Amino acid sequence: MNWPADFIWGVSTSSYQIEGAVALGGRKPSIWDTRCRTAGKVANGDTGDIACDHYHRYPEDIRLMKELGVEAYRFSVAWPRVLPLGKGAANEAGLAFYDRLIDGLLEAGIEPWLCLYHWDLPQALEDLGGWTNRDIAGWFADYTTLVAHRYGDRVKRFATINEPSVFTLFGYAMDWGAPGIIDRSAHLRAIHHVNLAHGAAVDALRAGVTNAFVGAIHNRQRIVPQSDSEADKAATRTLDAFWNNAFPEPQLLGSYPAAIAEAVAPYVEAGDMARICRPCDFFGLNHYGPIFAKADPASLWGFAWGSAPDDAPKSDIGWPIYPDMFRDELIDLSRRYRLPIYVTENGCGGRADKGNELDDQHRIKYLGAYTAAMHQAMAAGADVRGYFVWSLLDNFEWGSGYGNRFGLVFVDFTTGKRTPKASARWYADLIAGR
Ligand code: FCB
């Protein structure tokens, strides 16, 4: 396969999933620290307290990236590390950590892609209502301005918010993520306020960084009804609105999808849609595989995760594998939003107990099929400019704890030792063009 010479190959991570050091250098708790301490919310009682200890081991992680030959690294800044209470006094020790990281990346010839929010909201802001409080748009803008002024001389690529649909749905409708509230009004307010925060952050980045290249990161995937029943099809349409459209549509086209517009309307004030819909430079796409959906009248919005057909190919953690749907998603997105697409996450989950995590042929097969599908989409005209594997390292996989592993590099969580897997060599070869 030939790839354009300027195509960007990278890897992605996020702060809470790798950094550890949750109480060091002035960092204060996030809503995920709280969730990890709530019984029954995270598999095995795992927490992000130590995670990959990237806070201390980041020089080694930069070396690992250099060995892979990646050109770009997408990471997130932990809001509670740089602004421990979410607003007010900045924390110099926290800011200095990302200075060291960014400088190390640049020295290694790796371009930093900075994501402002990957789910670790300062607990102090949650105590004020978090995403359900409209004031959060201003808090997020102030945090963004701090980051822009501190790093904007060295960082030009910025993403505002990672997968807004996932953390709002899981956090406010399903109790699959922090803060674990199940309430329609809270969910709708969170959606609208996340959109307002995105718009405010785009403006803050443009104001604070010369030549900023700005976008948001959305998880989009095909939602397939589990059966032909009308009920399952209706559930699929509702989930599709919340999952795929509740953020890109207002952010890029200025309106909420019809299926949820009426429900969100009570929270929308005059001028909001213009505040949300600010010009972006790229579309960040996270994609793994389709969701099979079914009706569930007992749930908040009438839908639930169904199951994939028995004969569907699945990863070791049970996620369905359909590269053609990735190809189609890229083509559709490119047509609808007319922005350059960067695939900011794609990857394959495994489990150490399967005994195949170092010689991870299953992951190589997945990544091979998905990059081939991306190549087909590009041949069909989709404007895809880069691809980031999730993830550099095995890490804290939210509610699944350390059981589910997505890394190109194996992490022994008792010692912190890193060992590149077969897929790391495969990816290095792909990047080197061999
Ligand atoms: C995405 C998240 C990322 C990681 C992968 C597997 O939804 O953005 O943090 O958990 O899934």
| The pLDDT of residue 352 is above 90 | no
- The CA distances from residue 221 to 165, 239, 321, 327, 346, in Å, are 11, 11, 12, 11, 12
pLDDT tens profile 369-378: 999 999 999 9
pLDDT tens profile 237-274: 999 999 999 999 999 999 999 999 999 999 999 999 99
Percent of the chain's residues with pLDDT above 90: 99
pLDDT tens profile 155-186: 999 999 999 999 999 999 999 999 999 999 99
For the chain, the average pLDDT equals: 98
14 Cα: distance to centroid of ligand 1 (angstroms): 9
What superfamily in CATH does domain 8-432 come from? Glycosidases (3.20.20.80)
pLDDT tens profile 366-407: 999 999 999 999 999 999 999 999 999 999 999 999 999 999
For the chain, the farthest-separated pair of C-alpha atoms sits apart, in whole angstroms, at 57
Tokens of 343: 């695939």
Calpha distance 347→13 (Å, rounded):
12
Calpha distance 106→103 (Å, rounded):
5
Q: Which of 163, 329, 357, 397 is catalytic?
A: 163
Contact 97, 103 (CB under 8 A): no
Q: Where are the domains of the chain?
A: 8-432
Calpha distance 121→100 (Å, rounded):
23
pLDDT of residue 387: 98
For residue 346 and ligand 1, the question of a CB distance below 6 A is answered with no
345 is an active site residue: yes
1 band by pLDDT with thresholds 50, 70 and 90: confident
Using CA positions, which residue lies closest to atom 10 of ligand 1? Answer: 397
What pTM value is reported for the model? 0.98
Which of 317, 390, 406 has most ligand 1 atoms within 8 Å of its beta carbon, as the pocket-test mutant? Answer: 390
Tell me the sheet residues that pair with 74: 12, 113
Q: Which ranges of 338-383 would DSSP assign to H, the alpha helix? A: 361-379
